[in-house]
Amino acid sequence: MKLKEICEHLDGELSGDGDIEITGVSGIKEALPTQITFIANPKYIAALATTKAGAIIIGPSVSGNGKPTIRVKDPYWAFLQVLQMFAADKNRQALPGIDETAILGENVTLGERVSIQAFTYIADNVEIGDDTVIQPYVYIGEGTKIGADGLIYPHVSIREDITIGDRVIVHCGAVIGSDGFGFAPVNKQHHKIPQIGTVVIEDDVEIGANTTIDRATLFETRIKRGTKFDNLVQIAHNVVIGEDCCLAAQVGIAGSTTLGDRVNIAGHGGAAGHLTLGEDSVVYAKSAVTKDMPAGSHLSGFPARPHKQELRIHAATRKLPELLPEFTKLQKRVAELEEKLQALEEAS
């Protein structure tokens, strides 16, 4: 499309030839003369002199270095919108209909333009909303409800009586509604506690590949609107995840824990069970929250503590190799002084 068309879509300020054709999007170092790129991080400004990009999206205080530019308030957000313009989602362009190899149970309700692809199994009393795409080898259990405009990738298993909202994306191999890890130790044996609750996934949630979300013991495990999970995330039974949270790869949340809105947990982090982590909190990589934490907490370490405190502990720990020889010298010196003191006492 023409650069001026992109500028109009972004509601930006155009500088240079608006009639040049833009055929794609790329990073500032890799961009070709027919592609558009962006500058959002100041450390990449030097790359303006060498980039081959045909046009650049820039912020209010950045110079375009003679190239055609679109000036916007937030270059990163504008670049994301351009990506959406060019990157048509082929997975959502599947032809509606039911593949002949798919198996549908009784009383299945399908909305308009639903695509059910090869070797999918849909049990009785399932409801699927308009424009949702169910890719091959998906299992959907009895009584489950999936909203509109969803995208379920191959080999996803969604157990019985699960509720999934609109515009939810579930990536390959994810399991939603498996039994919570509940066992009662009696007479030195583990007796299974029936997990008869459910899982509720609200609108605009994205669930990464091989993520598992366990059903509640009695009531529900709930993932609220707009939350995003990376791959290999484990959500235990009765957990509540707030709105617009982001959980990176290998995060684990133990049972009956509640995360407030907009909580971010970095890779391999997690939280113990039966606690509350307040809204707008950040948990750094490989950190484990073991007790209730207030809103706005920034936590790291094991067990997790305020991030600044953890940094001071690490800084002190790095000095130990230098301090140990000095400590040994001081121990020796104290021993010598004690011997001299004892000798003086005996002489007097």
Catalytic residues: 237
Question: In the 8-state DSSP scheme, what is residue 190?
Answer: E
- DSSP helix/strand/coil, 200: strand
* Among candidate residues 248, 185, 182, 186, the one with its CA nearest the CA of residue 215: 182
* Among candidate residues 226, 224, 301, the one with its CA nearest the CA of residue 268: 301
Spatial distance between the Cα atoms of 294 and 152, rounded to a whole number of angstroms:
35
- DSSP helix/strand/coil, 116: strand
The HSE-up count of residue 75 (CA atoms within 13 Å, CB side) is 24
The backbone torsions φ and ψ at residue 160, rounded to the nearest 5 degrees and listed phi first, read -70, 150
Spatial distance between the Cα atoms of 16 and 128, rounded to a whole number of angstroms:
48
Spatial distance between the Cα atoms of 79 and 12, rounded to a whole number of angstroms:
12
Spatial distance between the Cα atoms of 70 and 57, rounded to a whole number of angstroms:
5
Spatial distance between the Cα atoms of 120 and 103, rounded to a whole number of angstroms:
6
Lookup result for tokens 């009895």:
142
Spatial distance between the Cα atoms of 223 and 86, rounded to a whole number of angstroms:
30
Spatial distance between the Cα atoms of 127 and 104, rounded to a whole number of angstroms:
11
Lookup result for tokens 């994810």:
174
The sign of the CA dihedral 259, 260, 261, 267 is negative
Spatial distance between the Cα atoms of 40 and 214, rounded to a whole number of angstroms:
39
Spatial distance between the Cα atoms of 129 and 227, rounded to a whole number of angstroms:
20
